[in-house]
Amino acid sequence: MTEAFLYFLWQFQYFDHTALITTEGETVQVLHPGFRNPNAGPDFLNARLLINDVEWAGNVEAHTRASDWVAHRHGYDRAYDNVILHLVWTDDRPALDPLRPMTSRPTRSDGSLLPTLELQARTAPDLLSRYNALTAAPDQIPCAGQFRAVEPLRITSMLDKALLQRLERKAADVRAMYETTQDWEETVYRLLAMNFGFKINTDPMAQLSRAVPLKTLLKHRNSIRQVEAMLFGCSGLLDEVAQPDGYVDELRREYRFLGAKFGLIDNQLPPHVWKWGRLRPANFPTLRLAQFARLVSNHGSLFSLFVGIDDAPAILKKLQVTPSEYWADHYRFGVATNKAAPVLGMASATNILINTVAPLLAAYAHHRDRSEYMDRAIGLLEQLPAEKNTITDHWETLGLGIRTAFDSQASIELFNAFCTPKKCLSCQIGASLVGAR
Ligand code: SF4
């Protein structure tokens, strides 16, 4: 028995309401169970109850054992003064001590008594068995064995909820970055830089974007060589080239001048922060930085590129940049190859739309209080092909069709935020399986 199960019983009123009385003998009628509180404080807010025919409006606190009210010292916490019902699975309080009658009773901070409602005897045993069976299942997706029996509408509705939750979470990160920069262009530039790290080099790319402000790069936007010189120079990667060639010499010369002029040298990264191990050459930080330099120098406003265009194929095309000519036959400095593929590929461009552009639109929707940007974020994901990974493979084996990035993003969120921590009762699919009559 968990408190999550108790919340579920109360939220959906899955218990026997016949002659509902508190342990103190007061009659209870539930007019509204209230709303689940995800934050600190009582578990349900704004409930409405008739207790002994008097209407009460306030909060509900749930515990598996009645003694937890006293153990958690809620009686001394003013945040619990508006609790109108103590909901418990079982009342484990000792018989009242006639000499100290209040010590085991739930009271508010002013000493007033709280009514307690016990649910154990009012709950159908099969409800609890279904819940136990679901949460005890060993599968990575605990409902795997029952998934195909779930109504498709419930699955769709849960995926919508998961996708929105994912977008809101990522949008909160974007807004936090905007709070730091107070500038949407700089925010987009930093987000994009981190995305160009493609997970393994996200941290050094984030450091580099803070060390070389966009405004500085844009002053020399018309010279790709100078943009490259500032990024490569400040990255520290020019310092470790064993066999410098003419291109490296030119970048070093430019960086000596521009780095001193804009004070970049003091913030230069040590070369060891960059990771190379187990990376395919197409993902080497040198090539990714060369692509990033081209993208920044191609666009006076990255923000307009991402927020001003409402068409995924058009943005994808603009993202698929070709870096400067040196990178046609190099993956790293001083080592020529005839196998180079310098253009930013379709998969990487799609990744940027999913992980940078959609969250940016969602954050901007909040910033401007304009829901159409959120609709565009969702529309963008619906236009893009699905990602493929072990999580989406799991879902596909259960028969879930994953066709667009909307589907893959939603199913990844469902897996990570609900299935893995076994929050099945907060999931519409799990709630329908446990509550099925
Ligand atoms: S969280 Fe939902 S989808 Fe995931 S295992 Fe539980 S019931 Fe199934």
424 lines ligand 1 (CB under 6 A): yes
380 lines ligand 1 (CB under 6 A): no
Q: Which of 72, 92, 123 is the last residue of a domain?
A: 123
Lowest mean per-residue pLDDT among 49-53, 178-182, 309-313: 309-313
Question: Which residues lie across from 62 on neighbouring strands?
Answer: 87
pLDDT at 105: 76
Atom 6 of ligand 1, nearest CA residue: 424
Inside any domain, residue 40: yes
427 lines ligand 1 (CB under 6 A): yes
Determine the average pLDDT of the residues in 21-27: 93
Inside any domain, residue 38: yes
pLDDT band at 30 (very low <50, low <70, confident <90, very high): very high
Say how many Å lie between the CA of residue 134 and the centre of ligand 1: 9
Q: Which of 289, 317, 344 is the last residue of a domain?
A: 344
Residue 120: Cβ-neighbour burial (10 angstroms; 0-12, 13-18, 19+) = middle
∠ CA 11-16-20, nearest 5°, is 95
Please tell me whether residues 203 and 115 are part of one structural domain.
no
What number of H helices and E strands is found in the chain?
A: 18, 8
**205: domain range?**
184-344
Inside any domain, residue 423: no
Please tell me whether residues 213 and 293 are part of one structural domain.
yes
Instruction: Please count the other Cβ atoms lying within 10 Å of the Cβ belonging to residue 233.
Output: 23
Please tell me whether residues 189 and 337 are part of one structural domain.
yes
395 lines ligand 1 (CB under 6 A): no
Please tell me whether residues 190 and 339 are part of one structural domain.
yes
pLDDT band at 138 (very low <50, low <70, confident <90, very high): confident
Examine the pLDDT at 184 and tell me if it is beyond 60.
yes
Please tell me whether residues 112 and 241 are part of one structural domain.
no
pLDDT at 309: 83
Say how many Å lie between the CA of residue 146 and the centre of ligand 1: 10
Q: Which amino acid is at 388?
A: K
SS3 assignment, position 301: coil
pLDDT at 17: 95
142 lines ligand 1 (CB under 6 A): yes
Please tell me whether residues 208 and 88 are part of one structural domain.
no
Inside any domain, residue 384: no
Per-residue model confidence as pLDDT tens digits over 371-407: 999 999 999 999 999 999 999 999 999 999 999 999 9
Radius of gyration of the chain (CA): 29
Question: Which candidate, 198, 196, 206, 201, places its Cα nearest to that of 294?
Answer: 196
Per-residue model confidence as pLDDT tens digits over 292-335: 999 999 998 999 999 988 889 999 999 999 999 999 999 999 98
> Which sign, positive or negative, has the C-alpha torsion 249, 251, 252, 253?
positive
Quick one: tokens of 150? 């779930």
204 lines ligand 1 (CB under 6 A): no
- Look up tokens 């605990």; give the residue: 142
Atom 7 of ligand 1, nearest CA residue: 430
Determine the average pLDDT of the residues in 38-48: 95
Atom 4 of ligand 1, nearest CA residue: 419
Inside any domain, residue 404: no
Q: Which of 107, 123, 139 is the last residue of a domain?
A: 123
Please tell me whether residues 219 and 315 are part of one structural domain.
yes
Residue in 8, 130, 143 to alter for ligand 1 test, most ligand atoms within 8 A of Cβ: 143
415 lines ligand 1 (CB under 6 A): no
pLDDT band at 360 (very low <50, low <70, confident <90, very high): very high
Helix H or strand E encompassing 349: helix 346-352
Please tell me whether residues 210 and 91 are part of one structural domain.
no
Inside any domain, residue 133: no
Please tell me whether residues 205 and 291 are part of one structural domain.
yes
Determine the average pLDDT of the residues in 13-22: 94
Inside any domain, residue 270: yes
Please tell me whether residues 11 and 83 are part of one structural domain.
yes
DSSP per-residue string spanning 101-152: TTTTS-B-TTS-B--EEE-GGGS-HHHHHHHHHHHH--SSSTTGGGGGGS-H
Per-residue model confidence as pLDDT tens digits over 93-113: 765 555 545 556 788 999 998
131 lines ligand 1 (CB under 6 A): no
Please tell me whether residues 251 and 330 are part of one structural domain.
yes
State phi, psi for 274 to the nearest 5 degrees.
-85, 140
Residue in 154, 413, 427, 434 to alter for ligand 1 test, most ligand atoms within 8 A of Cβ: 427
Please tell me whether residues 112 and 203 are part of one structural domain.
no
Q: Please count the structural domains in the chain.
A: 2
Say how many Å lie between the CA of residue 51 and the centre of ligand 1: 36
Work out the mean pLDDT of the chain and round it to a whole number.
93
Inside any domain, residue 374: no
